[in-house]
Amino acid sequence: MMLIQAAPLMGWQPIMVFTKADKFKKNARIKRRREIADSLGVKPKDILLYSAVTGMGRDELWDRIVQLTGLNDELTFEEVEQAAAELAASEEE
């Protein structure tokens, strides 16, 4: 909580992500997102829903990353994922 509050003071824009969103049914997901937002003092729309299993929210998360970082929006999520995997593999050698 303190990091989220301090982030703007450091010039950072946090991306809040509700992971494993696929584990909840739609109404429960909406309710839980609202509860999390209330506890953090943010709007529910500020919390992205994400599921690695179903891909829910992946494009929205990527769009937010591109928007905040200024990364080339021509890059796809898959290209960045591949580059990260290659970097990790090279560091293991």
Residues 14-46 have pLDDT tens digits of 888 999 999 999 999 999 999 999 988 889 999
The share of the chain scoring above pLDDT 70, in percent, equals 94
Residue 17 has what pLDDT?
92
Using the CB atoms, write b or e for 21-52: b if 16+ within 10 Å: bbebeeeebeebbeeebeeeeeebeebbbbbe
Residue 24: partners with Cβ closer than 8 Å, 6 or more residues away? 32
Residue among 62, 67, 68 nearest 84 (CA): 62
